[in-house]
Structure 1
Amino acid sequence: MPFLLLFVALLAASLNMRPVITSVSPLLGNIQSDLGMNSLQASLMTTLPVLCMGIFAPLAVSISRRFGLESTIFGAMVLIGAATAARGFLSSSSGLILTALAAGVGIGIAGPLLSGFIKRHFPGRSAMVSVYSASMVVGASLAAGLAVPVYTWLDNSWQLSLAVWAVLSLAALPVWWRIAARSKPLKQQTAHARLPLANGRAWLLTLFFGLMASIFYSLTAWLAPMAASMGYSKHEAGNLLTLFTLIQIPVSILVPILVARFQRRTLWLVLCSLFELSGLLLLLGSASPLLSAVLLGIGAGGLFPLALMLPLLMTERAEEASSWSSLNQGGGYFLGALGPLAVGRIYDASGSFQPALIGMAVITLLMIAVQLMIGRSSREGNALRKSTASS
């Protein structure tokens, strides 16, 4: 298939992976006020999609085996778009939560399969991971940054402000329809697409992904409310969330390229985590939310593409990459979903974000320990492969 078609397809799908989540946070106060939701209920708006991503990611390989990799991604785009568009017609908390559930299913299926798509159609092109991760960040940034302006432009309708992001799915569908029509299910490769449940390194990657995701989605859901609790206006708090996501764009492009050029993956993992830890400590001290958003954006912008990249570097075939990514994203997103939920629960109980920020800092330290274990296991795996090859 033409490179340009495949590139546009990857770009279009990636843009759809986050707006349904990040468009909520800047409008959370309005949604809570209109629907009478407490903080725990409101956190379900971001927790449920992530939880569904965790539940359905392991099923993605089986579904793609039945219908084909590209056709399954097309179906996931349809589901994400339909769930997003439905928000324009809802005025109840249960309906809104149902759309979060449906969109999470679509994202959970598409996520690991896009890793397999990169492995199959762009072998040896680490820059495509940058395209994948950066496009997700762009989609997240657009949704977070434009949520309030679109809300104002559409006569203060948070329903329409949330639903407008269905246009991204609408743009992606013709491209993926064309690719799906040219592709065939790979049923003969079923035996090679099993989840790596007995592989210790795969579980380490899963734990890392989960810890990383719990911090990321907690910040995505609660950074704006945290800023508001410090006295910032709704627009200022929304701008901090936008800054947090915008900073991730250049970082998510640059870090995979640097890793491919200089190797030393563990160094980059730990360095990004230290940026994230610094941002959390500044927030904890209420020192500078602006600088905190920058540091957190650098950390998150580097960690996410590395989490996507690691399964591709440790596997050889597209189906194997999809199965590793299914396990990593399945277990990882399941753990990640607990983050925003815990923050909402802690805030309801204490009336402060301080205890939650302390917990997030501890999780970041634990994540660094896991990263060091991944580095050690990778070196041992490389040594074993070299020994086997020479014998």
Structure 2
Amino acid sequence: MKKIYYLAALFLAALNLRPIITSVASMMSMIQSELGVNALTASLLTTLPVLCMGIFAPVATILSRRFGLERTLFFSILLITIATALRGTSQSVAILLMTAFAGGVGISFAGPLLSSFIKKYFPRNPGIVSVYSISMTIGAALASGFTIPIYLRSQHHLPFALSCWAILGVIALILWIGLVRKNEQSDHVTLPLKLPLRNKKAIQFTLFFGFMSSMFYSLTAWISPIALSFGNSPQYAAMLLTIFTLIQIPVALLVPAVVTRLGKPKLFLILCSLSELIGLIFLLLPMPILPAVIFLGMGAGGLFPLALMLPIMETSTPEEAGTWSAMSQMGGYIVGGFGPFFIGLVFDLSGHFDASIVAMLVIVSLMIGVQLSMKLGRKAGEVSS
């Protein structure tokens, strides 16, 4: 029963890590028209949280050592919930930007610490990271898929449509209160664990996370515009983005389980990257776009949980897993936040998406190069840092 409780806590916490971003992304055109903001300002509502997720990730381990893992995660969920709820108080750009920042900070704390949570409560089963990644995907899909219907049903009430997702946080907080109380007397780690900035393997993980997240956010932002440029209807372009998101769920469930059973994480890293490579090549060929989106979704669906698994598999303690995750997510999300901007810049300079697709091919090729250089299988404590 305890394991089920911990799984539920993990699932509900991860469920809250994306709605504050994807609810805005799905409403971008309505936000621009109702608030009278330009595309650059509107894009900050999604870029700002991603950058915060990178910049503030190292703070998570400091707070965890000071206040304890469970209490810090509770605070993170609370911050995300309050930020989401505050969007219902006013229909203003200032409120949206402020809550985007606060929500991004909360996510930056929770992201690496959920890896510590898995390492602490499921030390022999890193494949549990599939629950983490699937829950995040479900949360993202729920917010992106239902925010517009909620907006229409609420008579175009923008603050309500964006703030209603705070209910997910309230549900999670109710469950997490029990974990916080249970661990109130736990001894907190006071050793000055630092980010493994000089550890070659940790640097490789950070580079990989950066390339992976850059591809993910670029594909999320540009799959629909690419489909439209190929002459597809807006409805079909939106459906392709939904397919790209939904296909990640079964892949994110399957890949960590297979890696846990068979080992060979490096093999699956390369296979998932090759899937993205094939998808991008298909985009350059005169053929239907659907097979390309399927390959891209399968690649993205496998790479993200593997990126979360690596610090858990290659470290010895929950604290080490947290610091390695914080470092990889710090660099990864900062790079990832600029990915869509870079791909858009290439499009602006070239005037067509072929150049942008080639740029993404270069990113995936670099990612495969990093993966090939990894030597996995030895714990952090067994190698010099």
Q: Which residue of 1 aligns with 2:376?
A: 378
Query: How do 1:295-314 residues align onto structure 2 when only pairs under 5 Å count?
Result: 295-314=295-314
Q: Which residue of 1 aligns with 2:30?
A: 30
Q: CA deviation at 1:291?
A: 2.4
Q: Which residue of 2 aligns with 1:106?
A: 106
Query: How do 1:309-324 residues align onto structure 2 when only pairs under 5 Å count?
Result: 309-324=309-324
Aligned 8 A contact 1:144 1:241 in 2? no
Moved more, 1-10 or 123-132: 1-10
CA distance in 1, matches of 2:36, 2:232: 22
3-state secondary structure, aligned to 1:110: helix
Q: Which residue of 1 aligns with 2:336?
A: 336
Q: How big is each residue's C-alpha offset from its partner over 1:201-228, in whole Å with a ceiling of 9 and x where there is no partner? A: 0010011001101111122233334434
Moved more, 22-31 or 54-63: 22-31
Structure 1: segments with no counterpart, 5+ residues: none
Higher helix share: 1
CA distance in 1, matches of 2:284, 2:33: 27
Moved more, 249-258 or 129-138: 129-138
Q: CA deviation at 1:340?
A: 2.3
3-state secondary structure, aligned to 1:237: helix
Q: Which residue of 1 aligns with 2:166?
A: 166
CA distance in 2, matches of 1:130, 1:350: 39
Query: How do 1:204-215 residues align onto structure 2 when only pairs under 5 Å count?
Result: 204-215=204-215
CA distance in 1, matches of 2:237, 2:265: 34
Structure 2: segments with no counterpart, 5+ residues: none
Query: How do 1:123-134 residues align onto structure 2 when only pairs under 5 Å count?
Result: 123-134=123-134
3-state secondary structure, aligned to 2:87: helix
Q: Which residue of 2 aligns with 1:143?
A: 143
Q: Which residue of 2 aligns with 1:195?
A: 195
CA distance in 1, matches of 2:186, 2:341: 38
Q: CA deviation at 1:385?
A: 5.4
Q: CA deviation at 1:236?
A: 3.4
**Count of matched residue positions in the alignment of Structure 1 and Structure 2:** 383
The amino acid of 1:322's aligned partner reads G
Q: Quote the RMSD (CA, aligned, Å).
A: 2.5
Q: How big is each residue's C-alpha offset from its partner over 1:106-130, in whole Å with a ceiling of 9 and x where there is no partner? A: 0000000000011111110233111
The amino acid of 1:262's aligned partner reads L
Q: How big is each residue's C-alpha offset from its partner over 1:80-102, in whole Å with a ceiling of 9 and x where there is no partner? A: 11222222344333432222211
The amino acid of 1:168's aligned partner reads L
Work out whether 1:76 is the aligned partner of 2:76: yes
Work out whether 1:265 is the aligned partner of 2:265: yes
CA distance in 2, matches of 1:189, 1:210: 29
CA distance in 1, matches of 2:91, 2:353: 29
Q: TM-score, normalised by structure 1?
A: 0.90
Q: CA deviation at 1:243?
A: 1.2
CA distance in 1, matches of 2:281, 2:124: 38
Work out whether 1:42 is the aligned partner of 2:42: yes
Q: CA deviation at 1:169?
A: 0.7
Aligned 8 A contact 2:79 2:106 in 1? yes
> Cα gap change, 1:38/1:4 in structure 2, threshold over 3 Å: closer, same or farther?
same
Q: CA deviation at 1:64?
A: 1.0
Q: How big is each residue's C-alpha offset from its partner over 1:7-27, in whole Å with a ceiling of 9 and x where there is no partner? A: 110010011111222223332
3-state secondary structure, aligned to 1:10: helix
Q: Which residue of 1 aligns with 2:87?
A: 87
> Cα gap change, 1:359/1:88 in structure 2, threshold over 3 Å: closer, same or farther?
farther
Q: How big is each residue's C-alpha offset from its partner over 1:14-66, in whole Å with a ceiling of 9 and x where there is no partner? A: 11111222223332222233334444333322221111000111110001111
Q: Which residue of 2 aligns with 1:18?
A: 18
Q: How big is each residue's C-alpha offset from its partner over 1:317-337, in whole Å with a ceiling of 9 and x where there is no partner? A: 111111111111111111111
CA distance in 1, matches of 2:83, 2:229: 31
Aligned 8 A contact 2:218 2:339 in 1? yes
Q: CA deviation at 1:186?
A: 6.2
The amino acid of 1:165's aligned partner reads W
CA distance in 2, matches of 1:316, 1:345: 42
CA distance in 1, matches of 2:343, 2:42: 11
